[in-house]
Amino acid sequence: MSFADTNYLIHINGNAGEILKVEHNFIKPTLIAHNQRALLFDRAGSQFMIASSSKVLYSSKQTEKTLSQNIITAALGKTGNVAFGTWSDEGVCQMNVFGYKLEKRFEYNFASDRITSLSLSDNGKYVAVSVLGAKDAQIYSIIYIFALDSTKPVVNQKIAGETVTNIDFLGNKSVNVISTRKRYVVSLDKGIETKSTVDFQTHTLTGVSFDNDSARSAVLLSEYGNSGSNILYGFSDSGKKQFEIKVKNVKKIDCNRKYVVALADDKVYCYNNSGKLRGEITLSFNVDDVKLCGGRLYLFSGNKIYSCRPNRTITLETE
């Protein structure tokens, strides 16, 4: 599993032991991991690096001339391709897609709208992008999906009055879309699939997890804005809602192919794809975040990392 702190990109094994540790000087480091690769980029500049689990493939020195504008967001594809949303001082947003060897494959400019999220299809043939704009004092989001051989979008789906925060490909033919108000599935053929739409109603979006390797996802809401009362959703790799359950005091969530985990005040709950409780880990120390990778659950506590099986009912003690 890969993660980044203020100084290093780190890859650890199942026992939370370091395999790779690479220093960086990014001001606002952001990490994306997919298919045994990690993309680390700086939201405060144009630098990025790409690493496998054992070595750096492209250092920030090697990539320093690839982008000339500040990075807003990025995506890492299953085939090793990468996409970046950048913006200039003039307020023009640009989307670029690069191949496995960082050769430019696609470029598109947005003169008035701001890029909020990007995703690449599993086969490497499509890029999806969400943008945010405003007209007549009303905000809107637009979902575009492009084939990389054409600047004419295959999908151009406007969503009025909502801010799209996350967009992720479900394979090659549809995308999972999260806005501040709803969750959508948008397909290349049909646009918004209304049967898959989940309306958050008066609840507040507080957490989103999307597993790049399995395309499963989870969403956490605060009921009526109350952070102590939550609704947790789990979705399949096709975008179908698998469960909806009520939980209490959940701060963080994560998901993978088999489980959704929820970090509460002093416990970590593990649910299967049907929303059934399969593990309950009682914590004797403060945990800041939780991540699933493979068959392991990683718990981040300050500068320490602990690892265990997620589907267990145990009390976890510090060393």
Q: Mind giving me the DSSP string for 72-88?
A: EEEEE-TTS-EEEEEE-
**What is the spatial order of strands in the sheet that 217-222 belongs to?**
204-210, 217-222, 229-235, 241-248
Full-model pTM: 0.94
250: which DSSP letter? -
pLDDT in tens, 211-239: 999 999 999 999 998 989 999 999 999 99
Structural domains in the chain plus CATH codes = 203-319 (2.130.10.10)
* The pLDDT of residue 206 is above 90: yes
Asked if pLDDT for residue 310 goes beyond 70, the answer is yes
Question: What are the pLDDT digits (tens) for 103-130?
Answer: 999 999 998 999 999 999 999 999 999 9
Q: What is the pLDDT of residue 149?
A: 97
Give tens-digit pLDDT for 135-193. Answer: 999 999 999 999 999 999 999 999 999 999 999 999 999 999 999 999 999 999 999 99
pLDDT score, position 319:
60
Average pLDDT, the chain: 95
Q: Check whether 101 has a pLDDT greater than 90.
A: yes
- Secondary structure of 106-171 in the HEC alphabet? EEEEECCCEEEEEEECCCCCEEEEEEEEEECCEEEEEEEEEECCCCCCCEEEEEECCCEEEEEECC
pLDDT of residue 92: 85
Counting residues of the chain whose pLDDT is more than 90, the rounded percentage is 89
Radius of gyration, alpha carbons of the chain:
19
* Stretch 296-302: mean pLDDT: 94
